[in-house]
Amino acid sequence: MLSFVFRRLAVAVPTLLILVVLSFVLMYAAPGGPFNSERPLPPEVLANIEAKYGLDQPFWKQIVNYVSGVVTGFDFGPSFQYKDRSVNDVIAQGFPVTLTYGFWSFVVAVTVGVSLGVAAAIKQNSWVDYFAVGVSIGAQVLPNFVMAPLLLLVFTLWLGWLPGGGWNGGQWQFLIMPVIALSTSYMASIARITRSSMLEVLNTNFIRTARAKGLPMRRVIWKHAMKPTMLPVLSYLGPAFVGMITGSVIIDVFFSTGGIGQFFVNSAFNRDYSVIMGITILVGTLTILFNLLVDVLYAWIDPKIRY
Amino acid sequence: MTLKKRLLATTAAVLVATAGAVFADAHATHPVTGEALASDQTFTYRVGDESPSIDPGLVEDVDGAAVVRDLFEGLYNQDAAGNLVPGVALSHAVSDDGLIYTFTLRDNAMWSNGDTVTAGDFVYAWQRAASPALASPYSWYIELMSIENGAAVIAGDMEPSTLGVTAIDDTTLEVRLSQPLPYFPQMLTHGTTFPVHQATVEEFGNDWVLPENMVSNGAYVLTEFVPQERLVRERNPMYWDNDNTIIERVVKLVVPDENVALTRYLAGELDMTDVPAGQFPRLSAQYPDQAVSVPEACSYYYMFNLRDGASPEIQDPNVRKALSLAIDRDIIVNNVLAGGQKAAYTFTHWATAGFETPDIPMATMTQADRNAMAVELLTEAGYGSDNPLSIDLVYNTNDSHRSVAIAISQMWKQTLGVDTTLANQEWQTFLEARSNGDFEVARGGWCADYNEASTFLDLMQSESGYNDSRYVNAEVDALLAEAKTSANPQANYDRVEEFIAQDTPIIPIYHYAAVDMFAENLEGWPYENFEQTWYSKDLYKIAE
């Protein structure tokens, strides 16, 4: 098991390197640049700026400098767009925000999603089932860029219960609407996967045996059915968790939370190369880590799986 | 504490608080107008995106400039009408040849840490703004101000210390120009020319702009700065005119979506926000005291690609003029945009200071006459139903630009039978295509850098880096050069506008308007100020 983890981590390093180089090349291939604007800068001013950010050096040297900065000093460089901040500042500012609302969205999505799915499977074809399926389909078809303004309209403008956006250091009032808007579609997917997985498990022989020997239903579900049910859910949760904690531009745009999603999208539009790279590396690393974590959890839940 | 005591204590506290509030409300009145002031003097406003920088030496956008004007104070400020009023400088004298400006500074201007603001602070700030080490994208502003050796310092050929600015003593600042510049004092209200506190900048480097480090000399000090979320500034007790500041706290919120911002405005969370495109008629009917449209110093236009090797069809001035005539600008401003914009037949914005819109024949014709003339011109040029003209029109991705482009392509189709292919491009791609000449007709927008017609018309200069049409006309160049030193350049500007109407290198379409919602109790906004140069210290909230 340990050697499996090490092997995976060893593969992760070249994967990340390829990601860095590929992003770097694609980024430079895109038309425009970080210092293009409607008013082209006088050449001498542009030369000063390019010298300051090292953009006057040959392309290969820029990559080498960048990678060595990241590897040796964990230094992602200055932001080309936000001149008062470095990329490390931008991530240190935006990532905790996204992590907070992403984490709570994950908790809500998993709790509600799994409960709905299990309830629907146990009471298959009853009103509970129809209700759960109805809710999850409803949540799935309502995209969050529609739900976010609706939430604002109801809770901020009409009822006046919640602030219409901002972060304010992460007070709970500012968390509620982002969490609802971000968690619903994940919740819906989790509910559907849990339901079908649970239904499949409930029809297997070992469950029939458990019931035949007279175990109470509660015990059958929790002790025997839950673990195998969670396997397909788990493989969904790894990437879903990364998706939630690395940000949703929709949430940041509609609730002005100042999370990493907004920085990521803006950096692409502004050709803020260093911010694009910094966040790409962050998301890439997290994706690799959580996929690994899911694989480890798999082996822990299902003793049949061995690496 | 017993229940009774607790009740007593609470009651007493409430009484004291209420009395305090009543006291405050009853006695706080505006020193000039005598209006009763609201007890909460917090001004909260919306911006759409984070500013690149709030460092005076680096600031480059409009929203950032507003923050810098609150935190720092330069030699002069603007009043509500845009006239210069003393800031750190009390007055100035100009030498006979117009090359040497000597400013007398007030002796009671303070930094927020108690240091005195001196002429040396300006010298340091200006040298810093021009220095290649800072590499400010706005260093060209120093060059634009024609300060002696400015260009050479920026290019790195001379040391920043050779810049033509000297502190004679603590309250006397001398500035030497390389050529006389009649509007030089007007340029001093921009952040690039504001002082910075040398010791702070040198101690903290890039981090000096963080709230815990910043030392500033404006009416406000920075207390919170969370990028992409909020920036808070609070009254500066060390400011020389602090007694006349009324707004206690200014909160800038970054709200990327303008419809969300409007919802939050209507919920009372914002005192000011932009009106989303197309919503002005509804909002001004519903909230007549809050929805305001004022002229904004920008012009919207389409440009033709006149480079060698560009599409031959549009090299014929008659074709270009026909396309210009066939655009019904009244429909664009009244039906498509509907936010108080004005139809444009000149490139220079109609409200520009000292500019009188010349009589362009097209402007006074009826649209029916314009259409008839357009058909005639295009037929003469050899296009008609048997040989239709086709045009590629490109604009940067944006709902409002799309609506305008669709309307115009319809007008060209119906009046002239022209087939237009519309394409939209993401901003950076669009800029690159435009400056590389990779287009036939492209959208353009230009905002004034200063309040004088040359800020627009200089784009028509053959060598201008902003002349994306590559319109080359020696007569226009001569007229513009002459206007620089002329006491009354209006006649030159008239002639240039006539050339634009005749040769049609660009099609002026409309002049912008700024459309905003302002809270009913917010007073003091400089609506008359064409550049919308506002200062939080001039605002106040009246009691409801």
Phi-psi region of A143 (alpha: psi -120 to 50; beta: other; left: phi over 0): beta
Q: Any chain A CB within 8 A of the CB of B226?
A: yes
pLDDT of B27: 53
- Whether residues B260 and A149 touch (CB distance < 8 A) is answered with yes
Three-state SS for A285? helix
Residues from chain A that touch B433, judged by Cβ atoms under 8 A, are 31
Question: Where are the strands (E) in B50-132, listed by range?
Answer: 76-78, 84-86, 89-94, 100-105
Terminal Cα distance for chain B, rounded: 39
The string of pLDDT tens digits covering residues A78-96 is 998 898 899 999 999 999 9
Tokens matching residue A241: 């968790």
Q: Are A113 and A188 in contact (CB under 8 A)?
A: yes
Q: What is the largest CA-CA distance in chain A?
A: 85
pLDDT of B422: 96
What is the rounded (10 degree) CA torsion for B286, B273, B86, B167?
-170
pLDDT band at B16, cuts 50/70/90? very low
Residues 6+ apart with CB under 8 A from B417: B383, B384, B385, B388, B389
Residues from chain B that touch A86, judged by Cβ atoms under 8 A, are 206
Q: Which of A36, A42, A89 sits opposite B431 (nearest CB)?
A: A36
**B23-27, B68-72, B262-266, B280-284 — which is least confidently predicted?**
B23-27
Tokens matching residue A79: 């932001």
**Residue B25 pLDDT > 60:** no
pLDDT of A247: 66
Residues from chain A that touch B446, judged by Cβ atoms under 8 A, are 38
Tokens matching residue B508: 């002026």
Residue the block writes with tokens 């002031």? B37
Three-state SS for A194? helix
Residue the block writes with tokens 């993401």? B426
**Residue A193 pLDDT > 50:** yes
Q: Any chain A CB within 8 A of the CB of B259?
A: yes
Q: Are A97 and A258 in contact (CB under 8 A)?
A: yes
Query: Across residues B383-399, what is the average pLDDT?
Result: 90
**Residue A229 pLDDT > 50:** yes
- The pLDDT mean for chain B works out to 91
User: Hey, which residues 108-147 in chain B have their CB within 8 Å of chain A?
Assistant: 132-133, 135-137, 139-140, 143
Tokens matching residue B463: 């060598």
pLDDT band at A235, cuts 50/70/90? confident
> How far apart are alpha carbons A23 and A187 in whole angstroms?
32
Q: Which of B140, B429, B432 sits opposite A45 (nearest CB)?
A: B140
Nearest CA in chain B to A91: B227
The string of pLDDT tens digits covering residues B473-508 is 999 999 999 888 777 889 999 999 999 999 999 999
The string of pLDDT tens digits covering residues B328-372 is 999 999 999 999 999 999 999 999 988 999 999 999 999 999 999
pLDDT band at A42, cuts 50/70/90? confident
Q: Any chain A CB within 8 A of the CB of B353?
A: no
Query: Across residues A246-273, what is the average pLDDT?
Result: 89
Q: Any chain A CB within 8 A of the CB of B253?
A: yes
Scanning A74-225, the segments in alpha helix (DSSP H) are 87-122, 127-141, 144-151, 172-202, 205-212, 217-219
pLDDT of A43: 87
CB pairs under 8 A between A and B: 145
Give one DSSP letter per residue of B19-56, joined into a string. Answer: HHHHHHHHH-B-TTT-PBBPS--EEEEEESS--S---T
Residues from chain A that touch B466, judged by Cβ atoms under 8 A, are 39-40
Residue B225's beta-bridge partner residues? B231
Nearest CA in chain A to B129: A45
A86/chain B closest Cα distance in angstroms? 9
More confident residue, B451 or B185: B185
A292/chain B closest Cα distance in angstroms? 33
pLDDT of B26: 44
pLDDT of B283: 95
pLDDT of B403: 93
**Residue B280 pLDDT > 80:** yes
pLDDT band at B7, cuts 50/70/90? very low
pLDDT of A176: 94
Q: How many helices (H) and strands (E) does chain B have?
A: 17, 19
pLDDT of A181: 93
What is the predicted ipTM? 0.88
CA B157 to chain centre: 32
pLDDT of B411: 96
Nearest CA in chain A to B449: A39
Q: Tell me the pairing of strands B441-447 and B390-396.
A: parallel
- The pLDDT mean for chain A works out to 89
Q: Which of A32, A48, A82 sits opposite B431 (nearest CB)?
A: A32
Report the percent of chain A where pLDDT is more than 90: 38
pLDDT of A234: 87
pLDDT of B212: 96
Q: Any chain A CB within 8 A of the CB of B254?
A: yes
Q: Which of B226, B257, B465 sits opposite A253 (nearest CB)?
A: B257
pLDDT of B21: 44
**A83-87, B30-34, B380-384 — which is least confidently predicted?**
B30-34
More confident residue, B493 or A74: B493
Q: pTM for the whole thing? A: 0.87
Give one DSSP letter per residue of B471-502, joined into a string. Answer: ---HHHHHHHHHHHH-S-THHHHHHHHHHHHH
What is the rounded (10 degree) CA torsion for B440, B441, B442, B443?
180
> How far apart are alpha carbons A112 and A114 in whole angstroms?
6
CB atoms within 10 A of CB B226: 19
Best of A38, A75, A250 to substitute, by most chain B Cβ atoms within 10 angstroms, is A38
Query: Across residues B127-154, what is the average pLDDT?
Result: 92
> How far apart are alpha carbons B269 and A113 in whole angstroms?
34
The string of pLDDT tens digits covering residues B399-452 is 899 999 999 999 999 999 999 999 999 888 898 899 889 999 999 999 887 888
